[in-house]
Amino acid sequence: MNAATPAAAGGRPRAFDEEAVLDRATEVFWRHGYDGASLSVLTGAMGINRPSLYATFGNKEQLFRRVFARYHAARVAAARAALDRPRAYAAVEAFLRASADGLTADDHPAGCLSIQGGLACAPENAGIAGILAAGRAETEAALSERLIRASREGDLPDGADPRAVARFVMALSEGHAVHAAAGATRSDLQASVDIALRAVRRD
């Protein structure tokens, strides 16, 4: 009955795997955005019918929140792994290279759910854009923390503002997502990363 209930004892067993159908839903939201992902397309891709979706996840918005939370957790983990390098330059390089690879990987739609999901939404779905923006802000905050530490350690170019560098790196990554969604290849993005790294190099 409840969306959070992981299936109690008795009763007919669920005919689908919750994580598997969330993967399919992720792809639909990613490809079409929140507004553009209709329940018909969602349930079709997920291979379940409407009442199952509503019984399991609540409604469209709660389904999206589940989808995005999973996506975002993975992204944050990857970012933290990249940032866990001893030097700022290497951390930023790892972040940008992993990001470029992820944006063009072929086991999911090109680009980034945090952006494709709904930068601009219908008035009644304005909250969705906020959820995504909060996720991106959290990633930028992780970057920022890492670079503030680098700044203390004298590991940034002279006079560089770590928060501004974090914003720059995050913005570039978001721009790469836009490019990837429009068909840019992995090597297109990596060449852009090559350029960007000149800005972070200590000289």
Partner DNA sequence: GGACGACTCTACCGCTCGGTACAGATCCGG
Partner DNA sequence: CCGGATCTGTACCGAGCGGTAGAGTCGTCC
187 touches DNA by CB under 7 A: no
SS3 90: helix
| Position 5 contacts DNA (CB under 7 A) | yes
Contact status: 56 vs DNA (CB under 7 A): yes
Tell which one of 83, 111, 131, 139 touches a second copy (CB under 8 A): 111
Is the distance from CB of 160 to CB of 89 less than 8 angstroms?
no
End-to-end Cα, the chain, rounded Å: 61
Q: Is 148 in the site for a second copy (CB under 8 A)?
A: no
Q: State the sign of the Cα–Cα–Cα–Cα dihedral 134, 112, 40, 49.
A: negative
Residues whose CB falls within 8 Å of the CB of residue 53, separated by 6 or more in sequence, listed in order: 39, 42, 43, 46, 63
CA–CA distance, 203 with 199 (Å, rounded to integer) = 10
- Contact pattern for DNA over residues 82 through 121, marking x by CB under 7 A: ----------------------------------------
If one asks whether residue 199 binds a second copy (CB under 8 A), the answer comes out as yes
Instruction: Return the one option of DNA, a second copy, none that residue 13 interacts with (CB less than 5 to 8 A, by type).
Output: DNA
Residue 73 burial (CB < 10 Å; 0-12/13-18/19+)? exposed
Site string for DNA, 141-160 (x = CB under 7 A): --------------------
The piece of 5-13, 103-111, 133-141, 145-153 that touches DNA (CB under 7 A) is 5-13
Q: Which stretch binds DNA (CB under 7 A): 8-16, 81-89, 110-118, 138-146?
A: 8-16
Tell me the three state secondary structure of residue 86. coil
199 binds, among DNA, a second copy, none (CB under 5 to 8 A by kind): a second copy
Which residues 5-44 are close enough to bind a second copy by CB under 8 A?
Answer: 30-33, 35-38, 41
Q: What is the 3-state secondary structure (H, E, C) of 145-196?
A: HHHHHHHHCCCCCCCCCHHHHHHHHHHHHHHHHHHHHCCCCHHHHHHHHHHH
Among 23, 24, 41, 149, binds DNA (CB under 7 A): 41
Give the residue, chosen from 119, 138, 145, 148, that forms a contact with a second copy under the rule CB under 8 A: 119
- Contact set with DNA (CB under 7 A): 1, 5, 7-16, 37-41, 48-52, 54-56, 59-61
